[in-house]
A and B are shown apart, each in its own frame.
Chain A
């Protein structure tokens, strides 16, 4: 059982052999297995199973597996909120901080993948990374950052302000 291998297939069809324990970090994989287990748990537990992940591209999947593998060695400390600091390095271990030091596209792919595969620590980490991106930025900077052209119309802006202002 320990040496059981799970095959994770990326969007492109590339297959990654992942130890079962590592793969089980994903709730998606886990659910697939438990479903399977219900049906035929005695037949072939050691059988290599394949889990298709049509939403995850190969590079992202590789990253995810990297994360999950490292997680076995060094469990990520749960993120403490309220955030004590504005930098990743002070919030999580160095490896994890480096792990999310990727370009934005990759980061958001990771968020999506973590969400899809339902890996909570990874999702938290990536969300944290994104929020660090947002943190301390003005609305204008955020618009530039995310290429949002649609500014609020004055009325909408006023409305947003009013919404906020209600909470005096």
Chain B
């Protein structure tokens, strides 16, 4: 990693931590940046600058202790509220603290006077003051900080996001106001609590999670980390690193420089480490202890192991970094830094892929399918699920092990950073490195074959799990030979991107697939075969649903819709070349045709109109609902179609076989095959509660009723047409056209979905 970060802004300086150089956690150094401490402001214009958003330096100068001091004064109240919250699970413990503080640094409208007046009053008063201030017209809005009935203020005035309601373990609260949205995370600072016996100026932060996934009152509230523990130190350092756009290096924060002078040397205290590991392992507690003397407050540790950082003045810059099992894993400080660095290296690349998730709601949710799985499937420990890749170690091992025995870091590939926005600087920053450094697991290749991710990326192995590795600087001669060998065999050997998956048989729909498990679509750099992990892939949606990954499925559906509507360019999937194309009937470049026919063959078959998509999209025009009409792709789908026809023949059941058996029989030989038939339903019969309707052949002769019972419809205007002629007309249409017809009007819909055209099984 280089240090090309912009140095014009101290906040932007990007350097990798090299290790524990100074002492951390010295929180007594004076606040920097602002001439006067935050505390000094409090009596006058404490909570906001008159012009709305206080300058950044203001925030930076805020000390966490200052930030929380008012509540230190109200500790009694706070304790009370905590206990109340404790008694009512499902509420956010520590909520009041959060509510009172967040708007403060979130720069609400000018409320100085109000706050100045109420600074020493009860929190409720202050809350009301904020409410007043945030409602210009004094009308109640949804943004109000409402104090819930009865108990203080433990209820969100904001609409909780859906997933929040589901498990409330993490997530963002949605607010109508984007400015506010960042401010109110239901689980961020809400997890901050005070140690009753703690120093008022050094509140301890602890995050916790109950086994049910609910946010709970911290079970280990009194065991906050010591401020000088290495763990806390590195976290402090990390936390205080400002979330500059380019978070690919870590800022060497001023704190460290400040603390360098201090006499304390970092010596990872064993007790702290073991506590950290115990915390991490047994209670999933992520601790971010005392914040050092200066720097940004708004850092949240999410109880899912996510570290969320928020910049007050740059809400769009919010980014989130999963630290995983920080407490347990980064036992030694050296390891911690290495881990952070690794993650940082990966993060801006992960950001690249995360661009696909720019529109995703909520990005962090989707980016953690394994978390999803955990949250819906089992309610076991978060951490065991957070790191699907890393070496699993039992809890007992963790808690009793020495730092050296602790598992290594999470492979960078499991780390994701999602950015809320892309400022220009961010873009430039991310260009610096375009590959994901993945750790390898080589056993026999000595990491000198192209199988090795590191080797094929022309990188040394670093923090990998490989055995007997020769891909290291000290084996440069061997390595050089291997490189020459590889080049001799394949001149383009090292030019290929190593990011992306190489699935051969899983259709990229299993967790083997790096892309799939990361909740990402396969991209052009993937070398997978017959990929189904593409935008708009129905099988992907099905798979996600099957996995009970509802968020993932939802996202996939949404993307698919966007693709159908043309709002999103069809995802560029893995290159379809003869080499990685297994089904010979798929023409190169026809990604969508590819998908469709794949889906067809695999299980679902031709889609009902609602799910039609097309490779000739944009050709004719779109329906109002957004499903473009489709001309059948016979060239491409000939084989698939043949299969369907065969299947259809087996499954075809004439409607009124009983009444007109003979006629049907005679007619069946020359019966008109319907334009698009659906699949064999049998495949889905067992799984789906209601099987999709199947397009069946229309039999004009059997459809014809006697004149008296023939229903006359004026679908096409004045001369009323008998129903069966209309059905006859519709029978010529493709499913997509039928779909369009079905939404023309109620009458049209009734006929278009008539049971003489569709066979309903459910």
Interface residues of A (CB under 8 A from B): 78-79, 81-84, 86, 104-105, 108-109, 111-112, 115, 118, 120, 123-124, 127-128, 130-132, 134-143, 146-148, 150-152, 156-157, 160-161, 163-168
Return the contact of A82 from the options B608, B675, B724 (Cβ within 8 A).
Answer: B675
CA distance A166 to B746 in the complex (A): 18
Which residues between 666 and 715 of chain B lie within 8 Å of chain A, taking CB atoms? 670, 672-676, 678, 690, 692-693, 700-701, 704, 715
Closest chain B residue to A118, Cβ basis: B704
Q: Are A167 and B721 in contact (CB under 8 A)?
A: no
Q: Are A164 and B716 in contact (CB under 8 A)?
A: no
Q: Are B749 and A123 in contact (CB under 8 A)?
A: no
**B190 at the A interface (CB under 8 A):** no
Q: Are A139 and B744 in contact (CB under 8 A)?
A: yes
Can you give 15 contacting A-B residue pairs, CB < 8 Å?
A82-B674, A105-B718, A112-B722, A124-B700, A127-B731, A131-B729, A135-B629, A137-B737, A146-B715, A150-B747, A164-B609, A164-B611, A167-B609, A168-B541, A168-B610
CA distance A150 to B745 in the complex (A): 6
Closest chain A residue to B715, Cβ basis: A146
Chain A proximity mask over B585-611: 1 for CB below 8 Å, otherwise 0: 000000000000000000010011111
CA distance A164 to B112 in the complex (A): 56
Shortest beta-carbon distance from A32 to chain B in Å:
14
When distances are taken between beta carbons in the complex, the residues of chain A under 8 Å from B13 are none
Q: Are A167 and B732 in contact (CB under 8 A)?
A: no
Q: Are B717 and A143 in contact (CB under 8 A)?
A: no
CA distance A84 to B635 in the complex (A): 10
Q: Are A150 and B746 in contact (CB under 8 A)?
A: yes
Q: Are A131 and B733 in contact (CB under 8 A)?
A: yes
Shortest beta-carbon distance from B51 to chain A in Å:
44
CA distance A161 to B737 in the complex (A): 14
Closest chain A residue to B607, Cβ basis: A167
Shortest beta-carbon distance from A119 to chain B in Å:
12
CA distance A131 to B607 in the complex (A): 20
Which residues between 618 and 648 of chain B lie within 8 Å of chain A, taking CB atoms? 620-625, 629, 631-632, 634
Q: Are B732 and A138 in contact (CB under 8 A)?
A: no
Count CB-based A-B contacts (< 8 Å).
Answer: 169
Q: Are A137 and B719 in contact (CB under 8 A)?
A: no
Q: Are A139 and B675 in contact (CB under 8 A)?
A: no
Shortest beta-carbon distance from B719 to chain A in Å:
5
Q: Are B607 and A168 in contact (CB under 8 A)?
A: yes
Q: Are A168 and B608 in contact (CB under 8 A)?
A: yes
When distances are taken between beta carbons in the complex, the residues of chain A under 8 Å from B673 are 81-82
Interface residues of B (CB under 8 A from A): 538, 541-542, 604, 607-611, 620-625, 629, 631-632, 634, 670, 672-676, 678, 690, 692-693, 700-701, 704, 715-719, 721-722, 724-725, 728-734, 737, 739-749, 753, 762
Q: Are A127 and B728 in contact (CB under 8 A)?
A: yes
CA distance A151 to B753 in the complex (A): 17
CA distance A166 to B625 in the complex (A): 16
Shortest beta-carbon distance from A147 to chain B in Å:
6
CA distance A111 to B629 in the complex (A): 25
CA distance A162 to B146 in the complex (A): 38
Shortest beta-carbon distance from B467 to chain A in Å:
46
Shortest beta-carbon distance from A93 to chain B in Å:
17
Q: Would you call the interface of chain A mostly helix, strand, loop, or mixed?
A: helix
Q: Are A157 and B678 in contact (CB under 8 A)?
A: no
Given the interface pairs A82-B675, A131-B733, A164-B742, the reply to whether A108 lies near B608 with Cβ below 8 Å is no
Q: Are A115 and B722 in contact (CB under 8 A)?
A: yes
Shortest beta-carbon distance from B68 to chain A in Å:
49
Return the contact of A79 from the options B607, B672, B743, B749 (Cβ within 8 A).
Answer: B672
When distances are taken between beta carbons in the complex, the residues of chain A under 8 Å from B692 are 166-168
Given the interface pairs A108-B719, A130-B729, A168-B604, the reply to whether A78 lies near B629 with Cβ below 8 Å is no
When distances are taken between beta carbons in the complex, the residues of chain B under 8 Å from A135 are 629, 732-734, 737
CA distance A135 to B718 in the complex (A): 20
CA distance A148 to B747 in the complex (A): 10
CA distance A114 to B712 in the complex (A): 15
When distances are taken between beta carbons in the complex, the residues of chain B under 8 Å from A134 are 729, 733, 737, 740-741
Return the contact of A152 from the options B607, B676, B728, B749 (Cβ within 8 A).
Answer: B749
CA distance A108 to B740 in the complex (A): 21
CA distance A95 to B740 in the complex (A): 30
Q: Are A142 and B733 in contact (CB under 8 A)?
A: no
CA distance A112 to B742 in the complex (A): 22
CA distance A138 to B622 in the complex (A): 6
Q: Are A148 and B629 in contact (CB under 8 A)?
A: no
Q: Are B721 and A81 in contact (CB under 8 A)?
A: no
Q: Are A167 and B693 in contact (CB under 8 A)?
A: yes
Q: Are A124 and B728 in contact (CB under 8 A)?
A: yes
CA distance A143 to B610 in the complex (A): 19
When distances are taken between beta carbons in the complex, the residues of chain B under 8 Å from A157 are 625, 743
Q: Are A131 and B624 in contact (CB under 8 A)?
A: no
CA distance A104 to B634 in the complex (A): 30
Given the interface pairs A78-B670, A139-B623, the reply to whether A163 lies near B753 with Cβ below 8 Å is yes
Q: Are A127 and B748 in contact (CB under 8 A)?
A: no
Shortest beta-carbon distance from A120 to chain B in Å:
7
CA distance A116 to B190 in the complex (A): 76
Q: Are A112 and B676 in contact (CB under 8 A)?
A: no
Shortest beta-carbon distance from B561 to chain A in Å:
11
When distances are taken between beta carbons in the complex, the residues of chain B under 8 Å from A130 are 716, 729
Q: Are B716 and A120 in contact (CB under 8 A)?
A: no
When distances are taken between beta carbons in the complex, the residues of chain A under 8 Å from B693 are 166-167
Closest chain A residue to B629, Cβ basis: A136
When distances are taken between beta carbons in the complex, the residues of chain B under 8 Å from A79 are 672, 732
Return the contact of B674 from the options A81, A115, A152, A160 (Cβ within 8 A).
Answer: A81
Given the interface pairs A139-B625, A164-B610, the reply to whether A148 lies near B748 with Cβ below 8 Å is yes
When distances are taken between beta carbons in the complex, the residues of chain A under 8 Å from B724 are 115
Q: Are A112 and B721 in contact (CB under 8 A)?
A: yes
Given the interface pairs A139-B624, A139-B744, the reply to whether A81 lies near B717 with Cβ below 8 Å is no
Shortest beta-carbon distance from A10 to chain B in Å:
15
CA distance A160 to B743 in the complex (A): 7
Q: Are B676 and A104 in contact (CB under 8 A)?
A: no
When distances are taken between beta carbons in the complex, the residues of chain B under 8 Å from A109 are 719
Of A132, A141, A168, chain B has the most CB atoms within 10 Å of the CB of A168
CA distance A160 to B742 in the complex (A): 7
Q: Are B719 and A81 in contact (CB under 8 A)?
A: no
When distances are taken between beta carbons in the complex, the residues of chain B under 8 Å from A120 are 700-701
Q: Are A138 and B623 in contact (CB under 8 A)?
A: yes
CA distance A166 to B541 in the complex (A): 14
